Amino acid sequence: MKRVKHLIFWLVVIGIILLLFSSHVIAEDMFRQQRQALVDVIKYDVLRTRDFLNQEALDDRVLDALRKVPRHEFVPDDQRPYAYQNRPLPIGYGQTISQPYIVAVMTDLLKLKKNDRTLEIGTGSGYQAAILAELADSVYSIEIVEPLAKQAATNLKRAGYDAVHTRTGDGYYGWEEAAPFDGIVVTAVASHIPPPLIKQLKPGGRMIIPVGAPFMTQYLVLVSKDTDEKVTTRQILPVSFVPLTGKH
């Protein structure tokens, strides 16, 4: 009798394990399908805004990153059902995870190569940093809100992006000891382009930053520095971002 009970116990345990594994596989397959559907929406939106972007499609490497990075791992639990909708989502402390279309466009505009060094200002939940990490080997990210910075580090590690360098600080001043950077992305609107970030941009590098005033007209601006360190800017498209905060 004891042997029978022991056998039944282990059969139940194995059944539970198989059920959990099956549920996990089904969930991951569902998320994978949702990411592909999101990429299809983004491709359409890029085509629709091609006059702003001066291009009709994004780099395939950017689209592959969007297909791979699990956005549901970078949003609060109550927002997971909406993780693959093409819209920003609240992540707490008055901050949001950016609309995937905007993440895709900003990333594409950097024109990153695998051995590039990149800086992100405004880690948020860590999603943009994870996308960057799919394209470049070296990613640094700064978040001024300490609880968000800690949560982002946890999110990145759980999703397998523990090589991303994160820290709490005022992003206006960049990350001088890790500079210069081939690409810089700023995920909060500033009234002007921070001079420390221009200084930390490598000759030949690019920075993408929303410029304007909170709750007023904002534009995504592409900043380019040529090999002679001449800086040029180009407005890309109107956007809406939370403000860049700090002592500046």
- Residue written as tokens 């609240």? 90
Considering the candidates 23, 98, 125, 224, report the single residue annotated as catalytic. Answer: 98
How far is residue 18 from each of residues 11, 13, 72, 240, measured CA to CA in Å? 10, 9, 23, 46
Query: Is the bond leading into 238 cis (omega within 30 degrees of zero)?
Result: no
Order across the sheet with 218-225: list the strands.
165-168, 138-143, 117-121, 181-186, 201-212, 218-225, 231-239
User: What is the DSSP code (8-state) at residue 74?
Assistant: G
CB 86 within 8 A of CB 44: no
Measure the CA–CA gap between 203 and 183, rounded to whole angstroms. 10
**Among 105, 107, 147, 106, residue whose Cα is nearest residue 124:** 147
98 catalytic residue (yes or no): yes
- DSSP codes, 176-244: GGG--EEEEEE-SBBSS--HHHHHHEEEEEEEEEEEE-TTS-EEEEEEEE-TT--EEEEEEEEE--PBP
- By annotation, the residues acting in catalysis are 98
